[in-house]
Structure formats: C-alpha cells, structure tokens
C-alpha cells in the first residue's frame, strides 16, 4: 500500500518535471530572436574592422586625489595584433604592442618587454586588442564575457579569469556601436576607476 | 730448472721487484688523491692575451660555468608542472647549494625590492639637479600620476607619497630583463613546448667538478621528491648547462677510458695467448703496460695537480705502444744457449734498438711539453712518463720474472710465415706506394688549409641531442646573447665601476636605436661612489624641496602636503652612506653582483655587461660606440674561441714539426750514416703522407688531435723502421724476430682501432690516424728495406 502510493506520487512528480522541462525548452526557442545579439555576433562585427584610428580622452578617478586625472591622445589598431596608444597630454608617452612585444616610450627612453612574461599585462592588452580584432578565442582565454544591448548600441562586460589580474581589476566594460569601440570603463580593486571615451577619426 | 743459478741473482731480483712494487704503489697512492677534470679550459692557452684571459676566466669560473637550466616537460598539465616547479624551486633554495634559483616565482624579489626602494636616490639614474627643479618635479610627478588609475596603479599607489617622482619604478625598469621567459600559472614556461623552466646558479665554482656533480645530483633527488606519488603522470626532468656538460663529459670519458682499457686488455690478451700459448707470458707482457699507465697518470697528477679526462682516455692508446716492448723482449730473449741467460743476450743485442725507439718516441712527445696549452702538455708528460716506465720495467723487471723470454711457441710460426711473406712481397709494391704518395701530396696540396677545418667544438664529447636540448632551454629562458660580451677592466673597483657607467651610457643610445633590447650591468645595483655622490648632491634640502613641491603641484588635484613623506625621504637620503660592494655581498643582490663583477686573479677588477640584442644588432656599431673607452673591450666569444683554436693548431703544428725534427736528429746521431737515416725516415714520411692523403680523400675534417696522432705514427713507426735497419745490418731475420714485429704491429693496430670507434671525438681522431698509420709504417718499412731479407 504504502509503496504503491509512493510510486504514484513519484510518477506524478516526474511527469510534472518533464512538462516543466519542455516548457523551458519551448520558452527558450520562442525567446531566441530577442537574444540574438551575442558575443559571437559582436565579434563578427568587430572583426570586419581591420584597421582604425581614434582620439581618446580618459578620466581616472583615484582615491586620495581632489579631482579626476585626465589624459588624452590617439589610439590606432591594425589587425590582427598591433595596437598603439599615444598619450599626448598631460605628458607624451607611447605604448605600442606588436605581437608578443610591448614597447613603452617616455621621456626620450624606450623599453621593450615580452607580453607573455607578464600574464596580467597580457590580459589587459587582450581586453582591447582581442576585442578590436574580434578574436573570441583569445578574449575568452582571459575573461568571461557578457554582451548586452543590440548591434547598434552594445556593451561587453569582461570579468578576468586569471586570479592575479582579478585581484587588481574588478570589471571592464567596453561599449560601442556596430564594429566600433567607443568607450572603455575599468573598475579596480580598491575603488579606483577609469573612463575612456573613444572617437574614431574618419 | 736452474733459473736461480743462471738468471739474475736472488738478492738483485728481490731488490728490483721490491723497488718496482714500491714505485707502482706510490703511483697508485698519488692517483687516488688526484682530481680528474674534464672542462675545456685545459685546452685553452696558459699565456693568453688580455681578451682571451677574460674569456678563459669566464669559461672556468664565470656565471655561465655555474648556470644550470632545468626543464620539467610533459606530465598532466600546466598547473601540475607549476606545482612541481614551485616545490623543486623551494627545495633547491633550501639546499644551500645554489646561489640563486629562479623559476618566475617573484617572491624572491621582495627583499631586493625593499633594498631598491630604500636606496632609490642613490640608485636611480634619473636623480639629477634638473629632476629636482620645479619643472623637473612637475614632469616626474605627472609621469607617476599617469600610472594611477590604470592596472599598474595598485603597484604605484602605496609608494606615491614617498616616491612621487617614480625612482623605484625607474630602477626596476632597468633590473627586469627585456627578454623574460613566458609565465603561466605563476612560473616560467617554454614558448614552444609543454615545459616549466628553472634557472639556477651554483655556489661552487665551475671548475670544481665534484661540487658541480653534487649540485646536479641534488636537483635529481629533489625532483624525485617533488614528483613522488605522481607516477607515470609526472613531468620529465631535463637538465642542461655547463655544469651538466662538464660532469657528463667527465663521466663519459672516464667510462669510455675504462671500457677501452677492458676491451683492449681482452683483445690484447687473446692475441698474446695465441702468440705465446702461455698465461704466464700474458701476465708478464701486460706488466709494462700497467706500470706505464700508472706512471703516466701519476706524473701528470704531480706536475699539473689534476688529470684531464682526455689524458686518461689517451692512456688506453699507450697500451698499443708499451705492449710492444714486452713482446720484443719475450720473443727475442728466447733460445738462449744457457738457460737463464736469454735476458743478457737480449740486453746486449736488442735492447739498444728498443732504447733508441724509446728515445725517438720521447723526443717526439717532448715537443708537446712546451705547448702553451696545458691539455697538450699533459699528453706529453703522460706519454713520456708512461713510455719510460714501461721500457724500464721491460729492461729491468721482466728479466727477473722471465729470464728466457716466453716459453711456448703458440701460433708464432704462422705469424712469422705471414710476416716473412709480407716482407718479401712488399718491396715489389715500392713504386706503387711512391705513386700513391705523390697522389696523396697532390690531394693535400689541392685541399690546402681546408684540410684542417675541425673546430674546437669538434673536441667536445657532448652529444648532438644534449646540444639541442641546451639550445632549446636557452631559447626559452631568454638568456642574454652569450655570443658577445662587453668587458670593463681597471686597476680598482671604483675605476671599473666608473668605466662600466661610461659604457652603459653609450649602450643606452643603442637601446634607443633599437639595436639592443636591453643590457645587464652591475652599476644598476652598485653605482660608482662618484655617481652616488653626484645623485645625493642633486637633492635639495627639506625647505627648498617643500617650496618647489608646492609650486610644482599647482593646478594638480593634489595637495602639496600629501607629499610631505617625499620631502622627509629625500632629506633622509642626503645622509645615507654610499652603497658598497661589501654591503651588497650580504644581501639578496649578491648573486647578481658576483656574476657581473669580479676581482681578477692577477689583480685588478673586471665587470661584464651582458647584452640582449635585437635582430637589428650590428656588432660593428657596438665596437665603434665603445671604442673611445680604453678600459672597455668587446669580446666575441665565438670568434675568440675560433682564434684561440687557430693559435692552438698553429702552435701544435710547430711543436709536432719540432718533435719530428728531434726524432730525425736523434736517429742521425745513432745511425751515423745518411744512407741509413734516409732509409729509416723514408717509410715514416710516406706513412704520414699516405695517412693524411687518405683522410683528405675521405673528407675528414682534421684537427689538433689528428696532428698528435701523426706524431704517434712517427713514434711507433720508428721502431719498425729501426728493426728493418737492424736486419739489414746484421743480415739475418729469424722467425721469432719477424713474429715479434708482426705481433707488435698487430697489437698496436688493434688498440688504436678500438679507440678509432670510440664515441669520444678526441680519442677517435687519434685512433683513426694511428691505426692505419702504424700498419702503413710497418708495410712501408718492409717495402723500403734496402736489401732483401733472407
């Protein structure tokens, strides 16, 4: 008796579960068109831009300072792996990445190093470079990503996977329109924050 | 039998045997306390020029000679390799055997970081009066602020109030090499293979092979501990670097020498048994050989303090020549009319010829004694002592043991028949040999200097696989370009440091041009006192600085009093005592300082600058940039070693020629007849020419050891030529004499033939020359014998 009852209850629960699962699948299928703008598609858009030049302005909010620290300059990217950030104000400074080499030039001195010897730095470079190149594979090696918005107005949230990088950088948000990145916001552990606005040269 | 009656007296016999035994025991005692070395440095000149001296010091005890590269390849995954790397690194650091163990785990830099921060106003090259002007401060603070609010900000911010001009960063920039290995899971890994990497420098000097062997063995033990329980999933251990190579070559040469000696002894034993059919004769025949090897090794140990592995390997070549003495004695002392007097007849009739053969050999090898290269001189001492000892034993010892030579006839009758057949047939081939000789000379003339194209590395017993592993590990580590070194030498420490700073300034220009990606110099940690004082002198006093800071930070979102700790730090720095080498020697930077700066053995100091070159590097520009500095030299290691070897080869040529000349003079003095002298020298010269011609035809690159081999052909071959000369003079050749010649030649050819197939290039070079050369020397001596031997 008791065992018979138990079996019946079990059967009902199981049926209920199966229905619920179907319902979920159906819902997912129905909702699919609205979620269509995913990382894959965004990267596809970005990958079409093989080269780009832009001006940037940057505001950094650092604890202990009375106002934001500002910088401005130019950015240039050439697919697949060349990225140059040239700061013009307040002091000239260039950071050029080419493949695995990073060259920093400042006050008439330049210094080069290999990116893969510093995984944290490489992660930061790839956030920008892999995004601009539309290289999903590389981006996913360093970050878990969440895409929001639509193709005409998207955001890409990146959370570092590497523990060391994550101990310094809390979140990264890139935003843009179609194949163009127009903004980068970074939030650091400890409360500092930086906001970069990018305006492509045409 | 009445050996005691007719042979040497009992008293004399006991005395001789006791002396002999005592000498051998003394030799063994000396050898047992001797160090065996295997480094290339024994084959570097003892009186080099200034540039070579630096190179040799570096090869013998420089940081390169103490650097070990460790790879952990394969295994489960990168995380597992990283764990093993950390465990191994920790255990190695704890062992105390290594000055420095690096695996990308930056924890070891913490202590160094504190030092750099504390002494930043003495160390930073940016500390100048301009830097502390209002504009300079403004620029420097702006530069440092540009790091804030970036991913690097967390490193800069804690120091900002005390170091707003970023001096710590500026110093760190210089200290971190431009070409670091790839990092994964927090440790160094290869760019091309699934492999974690460690780099260690031993505390022991590169020339202390026993300590190096211990350091290598310790890594193997600690690796086994670190991978315990991982089973088949454990990553494989790979080891390379100069210490591994030296230890390996020593073991290899040692093993090969023993192996050759055993095989040689067995083959020789079979030959001697076949010839004498008497075990006693066999034992007796080997006694001069063993005594010779003991005497040679002990003599080298006494003269040079240590025995090079190659000399030891060379010992096995001596078997071939010294066994001849015993063979001559054992056969020629036979057939005495009164039993027990055979030795006397041999002493009167045959010993003078053996003695002459010995003297010519000694003459030949004596030339090597004057070599400027300790390695070659060792071979000379070894050969002379060995040959003399073997001859003495044959002359004085063997008569006590076998007064009438060897009993038993064995296969000698057959040998004699073959020998006499050869002796009779050879003269008919005389013309053929001469023609071949002309062809050989033509071939050699055609190839010219290209014939002697073997390089120093061809003497190295390191296998190709080991060399490839080494190159691959080196590439992964991103070690500086070992090919070119900048060396600064001066009379004292401070002058050396000032010279190093001057060279550094010129190298900075090359870095900006992109020819160098960086360089390593001791003055980043240890600036000259003058440079430190100049920096301290550019620091303003607290009140001045405070005022300038206030002016410089106007318009910045930064209240000037936030930089009060900076003012205090600068003020404190003005009172700091200069950094000295003694101070650094106690701290974490000691290994780096020791690697880049050292006291010269002959007095004075030297420092090295290691270059990290890019593909745009142009050596001529480097040389030109540094040319105005007299105390600075650019050493191209490959080119220096090449020129060293050329000098070595040239010197060896002269010595071998002098040795050959000495042999001819000695023969002339003994023979006192130009005709006989020509008859004796003719076959020897032709044997050398034909051997060289054969090598040329086979496209064998010849080197110094081939040259030594040629000298051996003359030394061994002169014995044969003299015997034929003797035969012509006395006009008789009994069966036994012919058999002894045949047997002596056979043992020589066999022992050098064994060496010819050795894995050790240096030994096989000698064997490949002497084995055919000795055979040719015998055949040609027969061919050019003036009268037909009946």
A71-114 pLDDT tens trace = 999 999 998 899 999 999 899 999 999 998 888 888 777 777 88
Say if residue B82 is exposed, middle or buried (CB neighbours under 10 Å; 0-12, 13-18, 19+): buried
B335-364 pLDDT tens trace = 777 888 888 888 888 888 888 888 888 887
- Count the Cβ atoms, other than its own, within 10 Å of residue B302: 14
Beta strands at B35-37 and B306-308: parallel, antiparallel or unpaired? parallel
For the ranges A33-37, A66-70, B236-240, the lowest mean pLDDT is seen at: A33-37
Nearest CA in chain B to A169: B151
CA distance A132 to chain B (A): 19
Residue A69 near chain B (CB below 8 Å): yes
CATH number at residue B713: 1.20.1640.10
Residues of A within 8 A of B181 (CB-CB) are 117
Residues of A within 8 A of B616 (CB-CB) are none
B216-263 pLDDT tens trace = 999 999 999 999 888 888 999 999 888 888 888 778 877 887 788 788
Inspect the interface and report whether the beta carbons of B173 and A111 lie closer than 8 Å. yes
Q: Which domain holds residue B748?
A: 3-32+245-459+641-783
pLDDT mean over B312-325: 74
Percent of chain B's residues with pLDDT above 70: 92
Inspect the interface and report whether the beta carbons of B154 and A189 lie closer than 8 Å. yes
CATH fold of A39-200, please?
A: outer membrane lipoprotein receptor (LolB), chain A (2.50.20)
Please, which residues have CB within 8 angstroms of residue B516's CB and are 6 or more apart in sequence?
A: B507, B510, B611, B612, B613, B614, B617
Quote the pLDDT of residue A25: 52
CA distance A10 to chain B (A): 44
* Rounded Cα–Cα distance for residues B275 and B714 (Å): 26
Assess whether pLDDT exceeds 50 at residue B658: yes
pLDDT mean over B308-333: 78
Confidence of residue A31 (pLDDT cuts 50, 70, 90): very low
Quote the pLDDT of residue A129: 93
Are the C-beta atoms of residues B790 and B733 closer than 8 Å to each other?
yes
Q: Say how far residue B452 (Cα) sits from the centre of its chain.
A: 20
B92: tokens are 């190695």
Percent of chain B's residues with pLDDT above 90: 30
Domain count, chain B: 1
Confidence of residue B41 (pLDDT cuts 50, 70, 90): low
B104-138 pLDDT tens trace = 876 666 778 888 999 999 999 999 999 999 999 99
* Rounded Cα–Cα distance for residues B310 and B522 (Å): 37
Pick among A117, A123, A196 to test the B interface (most B CBs inside 10 A): A117
State the Cα torsion B311-B315-B317-B322 to the nearest 10°.
Answer: 140
Are the C-beta atoms of residues B423 and B785 closer than 8 Å to each other?
yes
Residues of B within 8 A of A65 (CB-CB) are 148, 557-558
Instruction: Report if residue B448 sits inside a domain.
Output: yes
Nearest CA in chain A to B177: A113
* Model pTM score: 0.72
Average pLDDT, chain B: 85
- Cis status of the peptide bond prior to A164, with omega within 30 of 0: no
Q: Which candidate from B143, B154, B182 shows the least CB-CB separation from A106? A: B143
Average pLDDT, chain A: 83
A111-158 pLDDT tens trace = 778 888 888 888 999 999 999 999 999 999 999 999 998 888 999 999
Nearest CA in chain B to A92: B143
Residues of A within 8 A of B517 (CB-CB) are 112
Inspect the interface and report whether the beta carbons of A65 and B148 lie closer than 8 Å. yes
Quote the pLDDT of residue A151: 87
B470-487 pLDDT tens trace = 777 777 776 655 668 888
Quote the pLDDT of residue B27: 92
Pick among B106, B124, B151, B189 to test the A interface (most A CBs inside 10 A): B151
B376: tokens are 């070659």
Q: Which candidate from A71, A165, A169 shows the least CB-CB separation from B146? A: A71
Inspect the interface and report whether the beta carbons of B182 and A120 lie closer than 8 Å. no
Confidence of residue A6 (pLDDT cuts 50, 70, 90): very low
Percent of chain A's residues with pLDDT above 70: 82
Inspect the interface and report whether the beta carbons of A118 and B179 lie closer than 8 Å. no
Residue where the block lists tokens 């060995």: B386
pLDDT mean over B158-183: 85
B525-542 pLDDT tens trace = 999 999 999 999 999 999
Instruction: Report if residue B67 sits inside a domain.
Output: no
In this structure, what are the phi and psi dihedrals at residue B620, rounded to the nearest 5 degrees? -60, -40
Sequence length of chain B is: 790
Assess whether pLDDT exceeds 90 at residue B670: no
Confidence of residue A32 (pLDDT cuts 50, 70, 90): very low
Helix axes B637-671, B374-392, angle to 10 degrees: 30
Residues 508-527 of B with CB under 8 A from A: 508, 511-512, 517-518
* Per-residue b or e along B554-583, where b marks 16 or more CB atoms closer than 10 Å to that residue's CB: eebebebebbeebbebbbebeeeebbebee
ipTM of the prediction:
0.80
B49-77 pLDDT tens trace = 666 777 777 777 777 788 899 999 998 88
Pick among A56, A114, A166, A186 to test the B interface (most B CBs inside 10 A): A114
H/E stretch holding A171 reads: strand A169-177
Residue B449 near chain A (CB below 8 Å): no
Which ranges of B698-760 would DSSP assign to H, the alpha helix?
704-730, 735-756
Quote the pLDDT of residue B2: 39
Please, which residues have CB within 8 angstroms of residue A69's CB and are 6 or more apart in sequence?
A: A59, A60, A61, A62, B145, B146, B148, B149, B557
Instruction: Report if residue B17 sits inside a domain.
Output: yes
Instruction: Report if residue B217 sits inside a domain.
Output: no
Quote the pLDDT of residue B7: 64
Assess whether pLDDT exceeds 50 at residue B1: no
Between residues B439 and B11, which one has the greater pLDDT?
B439
* Rounded Cα–Cα distance for residues B236 and B238 (Å): 6
Nearest alpha-carbon partner for B139 in B505, B524, B556, B511: B556
Nearest CA in chain B to A170: B151
B28: tokens are 């063994």
Residue A120 near chain B (CB below 8 Å): yes
Assess whether pLDDT exceeds 60 at residue A4: no
Q: What share of chain A is helix, strand, coil (3-state, %, to 5)?
A: 35, 45, 20
Nearest CA in chain B to A167: B154
CA distance A170 to chain B (A): 10
A181: tokens are 């990145």
């Amino acid at each position: 008796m008791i065992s018979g009852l138990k079996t019946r209850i079990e059967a009902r629960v199981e049926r209920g579960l199966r229905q619920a699962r179907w319902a979920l699948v159906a819902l997912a299928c129905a909702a699919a068109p609205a979620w269509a703008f995913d990382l894959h598609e965004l990267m596809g858009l970005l990958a079409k831009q093989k080269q780009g030049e832009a001006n940037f302005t940057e505001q950094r909010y650092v604890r202990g300072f009375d106002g934001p620290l500002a910088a401005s300059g130019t950015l240039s990217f050439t697919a697949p792996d060349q990225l140059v950030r040239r700061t013009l104000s307040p002091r000239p400074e260039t950071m050029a990445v080419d493949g695995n080499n990073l060259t920093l030039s400042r006050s008439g001195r330049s210094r080069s190093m290999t990116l893969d010897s510093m995984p944290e730095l490489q992660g930061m470079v790839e956030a920008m470079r892999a995004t601009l190149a539309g290289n999903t594979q590389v981006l996913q090696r360093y970050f878990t990503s969440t895409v929001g918005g639509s193709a005409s107005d998207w955001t890409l949230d990146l959370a570092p996977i590497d523990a060391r990088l994550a101990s310094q950088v809390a979140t990264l948000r890139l935003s843009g329109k179609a194949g163009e990145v127009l903004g980068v916001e970074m939030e650091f552990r400890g409360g500092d924050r930086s906001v970069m606005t990018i305006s492509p040269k045409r | 039998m009445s050996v005691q009656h007719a042979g040497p007296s009992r008293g004399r016999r006991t005395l001789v045997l006791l002396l002999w035994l005592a000498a051998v025991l003394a030799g063994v005692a000396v050898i047992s306390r001797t160090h065996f070395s295997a480094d290339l440095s024994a084959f570097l000149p003892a009186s080099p020029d200034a540039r070579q001296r630096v190179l040799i010091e570096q090869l013998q005890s420089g940081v390169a000679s103490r650097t070990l590269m460790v790879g952990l390849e394969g295994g489960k995954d990168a995380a597992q390799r990283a764990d093993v790397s950390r465990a191994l690194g920790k255990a190695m650091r704890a062992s105390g055997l290594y000055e420095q163990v690096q695996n990308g785990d930056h924890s070891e830099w913490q202590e160094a970081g504190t030092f750099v921060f504390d002494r930043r106003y003495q160390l930073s090259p940016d500390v100048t009066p301009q830097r502390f002007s209002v504009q300079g401060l403004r620029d420097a603070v702006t530069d440092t602020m540009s790091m804030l609010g970036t991913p690097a900000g967390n490193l800069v911010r804690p120091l900002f109030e005390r170091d707003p001009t970023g001096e710590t960063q500026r110093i760190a920039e210089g200290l971190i090499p431009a070409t670091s290995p790839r990092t994964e899971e927090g440790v160094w890994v290869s760019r091309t293979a699934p492999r974690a990497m460690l780099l260690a420098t031993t505390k022991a000097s590169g020339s202390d092979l026993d300590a190096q062997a211990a350091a290598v063995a310790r890594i193997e033990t600690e690796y086994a501990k670190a991978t315990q329980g991982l089973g088949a999933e454990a990553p494989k251990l790979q080891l390379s670097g100069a210490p591994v190579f030296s230890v390996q070559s020593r073991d290899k040469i040692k093993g090969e020498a023993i192996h050759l000696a055993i095989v040689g002894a067995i083959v020789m034993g079979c030959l001697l048994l076949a010839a004498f059919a008497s075990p006693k004769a066999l034992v007796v025949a080997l006694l001069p050989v063993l005594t010779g090897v003991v005497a040679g090794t002990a003599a080298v140990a006494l003269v040079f303090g240590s025995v090079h592995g190659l000399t030891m390997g060379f010992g096995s070549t001596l078997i071939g020549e010294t066994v001849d003495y015993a063979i001559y004695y054992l056969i020629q002392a036979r057939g005495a009319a009164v039993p027990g007097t055979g030795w006397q007849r041999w002493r009167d009739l045959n010993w003078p010829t053996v003695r002459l053969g010995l003297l010519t050999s000694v003459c030949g090898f004596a030339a090597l004694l004057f070599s400027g290269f300790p390695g070659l001189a060792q071979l000379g001492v070894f050969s002379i002592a060995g040959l003399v000892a073997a001859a003495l034993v044959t002359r004085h010892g063997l008569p006590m043991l076998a007064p009438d030579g060897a009993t038993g006839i064995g296969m000698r009758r057959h040998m004699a028949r073959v020998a006499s057949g050869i002796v009779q047939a050879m003269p008919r081939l005389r013309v053929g040999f001469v023609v071949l000789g002309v062809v050989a000379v033509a071939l050699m003339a055609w190839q010219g200097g290209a014939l002697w194209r073997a390089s120093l590395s061809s003497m190295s017993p390191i296998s190709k696989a080991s060399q490839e592993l080494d190159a691959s590990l080196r590439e992964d580590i991103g070690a500086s370009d070992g090919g070119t070194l900048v060396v600064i030498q001066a009379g004292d420490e401070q002058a050396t440091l000032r010279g190093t700073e001057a060279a550094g300034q010129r190298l900075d220009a090359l870095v900006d041009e992109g020819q160098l990606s960086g360089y390593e110099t001791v003055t980043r940690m240890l600036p000259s006192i003058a440079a430190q004082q100049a920096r301290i002198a550019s620091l303003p006093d607290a009140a001045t600085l405070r005022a300038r800071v206030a002016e410089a930070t106007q318009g910045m979102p930064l209240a000037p009093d936030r930089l009060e700790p900076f003012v205090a730090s600068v003020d404190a720095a003005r009172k700091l005592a200069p950094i000295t080498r003694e101070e650094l020697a106690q701290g974490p930077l000691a290994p780096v300082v020791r690697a880049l700066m050292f006291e010269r053995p002959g007095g004075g100091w030297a420092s090295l600058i290691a270059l990290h070159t890019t593909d745009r590097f142009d050596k001529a520009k480097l040389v030109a940039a540094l040319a105005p500095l007299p105390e600075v030299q650019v050493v191209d290691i490959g080119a220096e070693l090449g020129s060293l070897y050329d000098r070595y080869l040239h010197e060896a040529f002269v010595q071998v020629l002098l040795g050959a000349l000495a042999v001819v003079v000695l023969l002339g003095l003994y023979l006192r007849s130009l005709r006989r002298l020509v008859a004796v020298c003719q076959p020897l010269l032709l044997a050398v020419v034909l051997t060289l011609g054969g090598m040329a035809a086979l496209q064998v690159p010849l080197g110094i050891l081939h040259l030594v081999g040629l000298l051996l052909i003359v030394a061994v071959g002169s014995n044969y030529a003299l015997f034929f000369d003797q035969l012509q003079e006395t006009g008789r050749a009994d069966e036994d004499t012919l058999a002894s010649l045949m047997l002596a030649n056979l043992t020589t050819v066999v022992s050098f033939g064994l060496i010819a197939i050795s894995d050790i290039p240096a030994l096989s070079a000698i064997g490949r020359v002497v084995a055919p050369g000795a055979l040719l020397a015998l055949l040609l001596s027969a061919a050019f014998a003036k009268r037909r031997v009946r």
